[in-house]
Amino acid sequence: MAIQVPNSETATQPTKREQREAYLKSLLSTAQANVPDTLAFADLRAKAEAIVNEHTFPSNRDEDWRFTDLSPMLAVPFQAAESPAEIDMGALGPVQMPEAIARIVLVNGQYNATLSDVDKLPTGVVVGSLASLKDGALGETLTARLATSNGGHEVFTALNTAGFQDAAVVYVPRNQVVEQPIQVVYLSVARGEPIIASPRCLVIAESGSAVTVVEDFFGAHDRDHCNNSVTEVWADDNAQVTHVRLQREGAGTFHIGKTAITQGRDSRYTMIPVTLGARLSRHNLEVYQNGPQTDTNLYGLTAIAQSQLADTHSLIAMNHPHGTADQLHKAIIDDSAHAVFNGRVWVPRDAQLTNASQLNRNLLLSGKARVDTKPELDIVADNVKCAHGATVSQLDANEVFYLQSRGIDAEAAQRLLIYGFAMDVVDRIPIPSLKQLLTDTVTQRSS
């Protein structure tokens, strides 16, 4: 058999793996380009850089990315955000939340003091930027928690750690109860070239405290943009944290997000992540129960259309006895959109007498809509109550006909059924203005 020797031109062509490696290195250098000296964190960033260099840019051959194709990103030459974007108060119109007691705003990952409002907080509660707080009395507490959550070895999380320019900080001291929500706004502002931003947030609720935090990712443009965000939440012993995450970015955005939660004993954490926007979005949600009698509640909603792709990967690690976890994730998929859900509940041998349930429900509004769902229970303990499941369905023609027989037209009937499907999640949001916004958004969708 003759052996065909490639010509020199063919031999010099990089392989797909080499292309992904080169692209990831370029993202790393871009993210690091404008790290301020005041937030050098040399050891922290060096470790993150080493983790990034151990990886290649994810592809469909990686199990965690099997259903989410990131190859469109390879064609986009992202640049770093060099200086704070010029923006006025009018940009806050779509994200106004009258119930908020404080608001901190990051524009393309950079803190904007003009748009932020942090002057009406209870005694001891701190909301601000890491750059302005790290050298104060609180600085040691903040830097001791920063980038120490589990899950930091994931490539995009490490990329954020290596290159974030500032971070939003929410700190609630021991036994302090904050009655009104605190809002963290991430604005994406388009410029001449595609930008990669690295927004970061650190939430610390000390023992016995209670707080509601709302993260709002917003961008009104449809240009190429990448947001690689990381949020770390620390709910210490007997703390209560309610966390709403709203992602409604522009049609050209690649949104990669990590939320890492560490819970102490007797703590209660409730999260409602809502995904509406972006061209492609991936949310890695990881909860680590680090004490007994810990309660975790995750109620997610995805509503996408056209050719959007929205991927939710979650992990609940129930590491101690008497823990509870309740997860419900719903998706409404229209046109040729594609939703992905991969949820894992990990119950090791030490986590006896735990109670966990996980359910993923999906509503397809189009014959071209697609969903890939994979709920998982990984149980080693032998004295537990655990259940999981997934459903995929369309609007029931009989239900639509029944509503029409009661004088409701077909479009209104479809909207009513979609409303009923989504409200099981939306009704859990404790903020009236945000609940109304999502109700209006969901009910505008019909097949």
pLDDT per 10-residue tile (average), the chain, 447 residues: 48 82 94 90 95 94 94 92 75 91 95 93 96 91 95 94 96 97 94 90 98 95 93 98 97 96 98 97 98 97 97 97 97 97 95 95 95 94 92 87 82 88 95 94 73
- Answer yes or no: do 115 and 254 share one domain: yes
Range of the domain at 115: 16-291
What is the pLDDT at residue 443?
82
416 and 282 co-located in one domain: no
- The strand ranges marked E within 15-152 are 79-80, 102-107, 110-111, 126-129
CA dihedral 424, 426, 431, 434 (to 10 degrees): -160
**Sequence-ordered list of residues with C-beta below 8 angstroms from that of 70, at least 6 positions apart, any chain:** 57, 58, 59, 254, 280
In a domain? residue 103: yes
Which domain-ending residue is among 235, 268, 291? Answer: 291
> Vertex 347, ends 345 and 350: CA angle to 5°?
160
First to last CA, the chain: 59
Sign of CA dihedral 69, 71, 76, 77: positive
Per-residue pLDDT, 85: 66
Residue 415 included in any domain: yes
* Sign of the alpha-carbon dihedral angle for 157, 163, 168, 174: positive
Q: Is residue 168 part of a domain?
A: yes
**pTM score above 0.75:** yes
Token couple for 354 = 């735990």
How many Cα neighbours within 13 Å face the side chain of 375? 19
427 lies in the same domain as 284: no
Return d(Cα 379, Cα 386) in angstroms, integer: 9
Number of domains in the chain: 2
pLDDT of residue 151: 87
Q: What does the pLDDT read at residue 3?
A: 46
60 with 187, same domain?
yes
Number of residues assigned to the chain: 447
Residues 283 and 408 in one domain: no
Of 270, 291, 312, the domain-final residue: 291
Q: Is residue 8 part of a domain?
A: no
Same domain, yes or no: 271 and 150: yes
361 domain residue, yes or no: no
Where does a domain end: 259, 291, 323?
291
Q: Please, what is the angle between helix 16-32 and helix 42-53, to 10°?
A: 170
Place of tokens 């009406």: 120
Q: Do 286 and 404 lie in a common domain?
A: no
* 138's tokens: 């609180």
In a domain, 209, yes or no: yes
Give Rg (Cα) of the chain: 22
Whole-angstrom CA distances from 171 to 129, 141, 186 are 11, 10, 18
Supply the pLDDT for residue 47: 96
75 C-beta neighbours (distance < 10 Å), count: 8
Distance between CA 257 and CA 254 in Å, rounded?
A: 10
Work out the angle at residue 388's Cα, subtended by the Cα atoms of residues 67 and 418, and round it to the nearest 5 degrees.
Answer: 70
> Bridge partners of 257?
229, 283
Kind of pairing between the strands at 126-129 and 168-172 = antiparallel
Distances from the Cα of 199 to the Cα of 109, 131, 211, 286, angstroms: 4, 13, 21, 18
One domain for residues 108 and 250: yes
Please report the pLDDT score of residue 87 as a whole number: 79
- Helix axis angle for 397-405 and 410-426, nearest 10°, is 110
Q: Are 416 and 286 in a shared domain?
A: no
State which H helix or E strand residue 411 sits in. helix 410-426
Q: Supply the pLDDT for residue 404.
A: 81
Backbone angles phi, psi at 157, to 5 degrees: -65, -45
- CA 127, CA 103: separation in Å to the nearest integer? 8
Instruction: Establish if 235 belongs to a structural domain.
Output: yes
- Residue-wise over 422-447: b if at least 16 C-beta within 10 A, else e? bbebbebbebeebbebbbeebbebbb
Q: Are 226 and 199 in contact (CB under 8 A)?
A: no
Claim to verify: residue 57 and residue 191 sit in the same structural domain: yes
Could you tell me the maximum CA-CA distance found in the chain, to the nearest angstrom? 82
In a domain, 182, yes or no: yes
